[in-house]
Structure 1
């Protein structure tokens, strides 16, 4: 097979060197150029176009956001953002994800060289995932509606979650929806969640994303959705009208007290090379909610969530995988399907309606 051709764009000579060396060690990856800024990169790309771009955001002559928008408008190319692990960097990187970037690799302000060497496996995995991406799905991902649904609450309301009825300890009919996603998932989640009314069943979500980024991602979705969207905090209730996004760098589990669901947020080792892990969430949902749950696995590389979805299926939960035709990367849904834990396979534009129907 042809090697994955990569261009690295960063104004830091150290970052360029470390990323180049990290990628060049892999037999299936070829670094065709390293550039100090997007203007230089575009000159190189006119001679040989890469399969994947690895780029910083804050650079001279042209910033990474303008670079990304130009690429996506002219010739959509899988892009991995290598961004500062700061609040400011996170905010800018969220803008990059909205513009079509597929993955985030973070870097600290200090000790960059050692950090990047330690995080080399993450960079390699991100490049491989990006190389498999269906960029047509990134370009054509549904955008948020311009008019709110009829039963949505005004955006100014600080809390749109609706307290559910409390049932008996062993006879709860409370429902919960659990969603897991990774590469391409930020756009997929936006496409689904913006179509749900305020009265929808409570939702818990694991999106593979570094710490500091999930809070801003949740804030962005909260401004677009009728449902309340927030980054999960330990002990948060799962309520109709509320979406809880797992924190980057922490696992999230579903728990139950009587008929009330809530989440536990905790540290721990990575599972399937991820924290948060979809498997950790799905397994807890299988144990706690069983037949009262709907599990959904969407675009992403790897197999995180496949085993947990099988456990949900075996516990008589309803389970859905996103169809290959709409996935940016079909890895996670395919793994779940192959493991026998998927009840339905649906394209992205039918998943919101399935959640609404399930809630009824």
Structure 2
């Protein structure tokens, strides 16, 4: 028996955006556009008749802005919401507020472009909507995660159960384990809030961290800035050549791949153009595979909430290269997709709840 299509309600005051989104989403056999509304009041009346599986929601609209509507929706009738925004730096801070208020993801408003760019945009939009349909909507509101200030207990025994780089080999000689640990993190749907909780739990002397969070370009800079104001560690959007230093976190910029590289005893990042890898750019697989090659047993890999399999193969290569690998557990994930795929491939050493990930990373740092 065929699965029911995902029913989507589009809320946007632009008729052209409503039409383009309808065309893109309707082209996917797993998605059905339930209706399109020009403002939140029209949408509210439509929701009273039928509850959609996913709502795509504009930010700036007449009568009521998208953030206000989102907050009312999360308080009264939680539904997975994907914010739909223009690709502007000015609006990115507002989008961060939307994610904190309960939106599960962000898409960029589609616009007329070259065929390849439009097709790529359509892939991303459909993937985000499908991920949102599997998400468990959670009302907004920041919580204060416990500070991970001491190494955790010995980890449990290891489980037995094509990117831009070739498969990694176990490092040797100059690549042998040193005292410096670098952590590479991958996340997607639900990852913005999960990463905030994880980073807020770290002390200022945490190991150097590189993160790939699936997010459109321009929004990653605002995301990094927001985290920098909340955490003891320093957080910034990665730039080509940035060093990976203790107490510092680099967020991969949207729209480009970020790789870990090593020069002597120091690590730095390389930010590159390139095609979609595992349906994403930046791709977790690209980061993880580069970490396997550059850091080997000096690396810690963490895969967090998100749909799909990006990062699963790269995490397996990290483990094979001697890295310590961690997956977020199903109970604490908004979408248990990426961690599940990594676990199924046998690439995960430890499966833990979100609140314990910081402890695991610090344990790896303490034992090095």
> Normalized against structure 2, the TM-score is what?
0.87
1:356 maps onto 2:351 in alignment: no
SS at match of 1:88: coil
- In the alignment, what sits opposite 2:153? none
CA 1:142/1:292 → structure 2, altered by over 3 Å: closer, same or farther?
A: farther
CA 1:229/1:331 → structure 2, altered by over 3 Å: closer, same or farther?
A: same
Q: 1:176 aligns with which of 167, 182, 187?
A: 182
CA 1:339/1:66 → structure 2, altered by over 3 Å: closer, same or farther?
A: same
Q: Deviations over 1:4-57 (max 9, x none)?
A: 221100000111112122222333322222100011100111111111001110
Q: Deviations over 1:159-178 (max 9, x none)?
A: xxxxxxxxx95553211111
- In the alignment, what sits opposite 2:165? none
CA 1:117/1:16 → structure 2, altered by over 3 Å: closer, same or farther?
A: farther
State the Cα distance separating 1:97 from its structure 2 match: 1.3
> Normalized against structure 1, the TM-score is what?
0.89
Distance 1:141 1:64 in 2: 17
- In the alignment, what sits opposite 2:34? 32
Contact in 1 for aligned 2:75/2:139 (Cα 8 Å): no
Higher relative contact order (CA 8 A, sep 6+): 2
- In the alignment, what sits opposite 2:347? 341
1:187 maps onto 2:189 in alignment: no
Gaps of 5+ in 2: 151-172
Contact in 1 for aligned 2:208/2:247 (Cα 8 Å): yes
Pairing of 1:68-147 with structure 2 (within 5 A): 68-107=70-109, 111=112, 119-135=121-137, 138-139=138-139, 143-144=143-144
Contact in 1 for aligned 2:59/2:65 (Cα 8 Å): yes
State the Cα distance separating 1:120 from its structure 2 match: 2.1
1:243 maps onto 2:249 in alignment: yes
Report how many aligned residue pairs link the two structures: 340
State the Cα distance separating 1:123 from its structure 2 match: 1.7
CA 1:56/1:201 → structure 2, altered by over 3 Å: closer, same or farther?
A: same
Q: 1:5 aligns with which of 4, 7, 24?
A: 7
SS at match of 1:58: coil
- In the alignment, what sits opposite 1:294? 300
- In the alignment, what sits opposite 1:165? none
Distance 1:113 1:43 in 2: 37
Distance 1:185 1:84 in 2: 21
Q: Deviations over 1:84-116 (max 9, x none)?
A: 0011222221221121111211137x7489876
State the Cα distance separating 1:148 from its structure 2 match: 8.2
Contact in 2 for aligned 1:176/1:201 (Cα 8 Å): yes
Gaps of 5+ in 1: 152-167
Over aligned residue pairs, what C-alpha RMSD do you find?
Answer: 2.3
Pairing of 1:233-312 with structure 2 (within 5 A): 233-312=239-318
Distance 2:233 2:120 in 1: 39
Distance 1:256 1:3 in 2: 46
SS at match of 2:330: coil
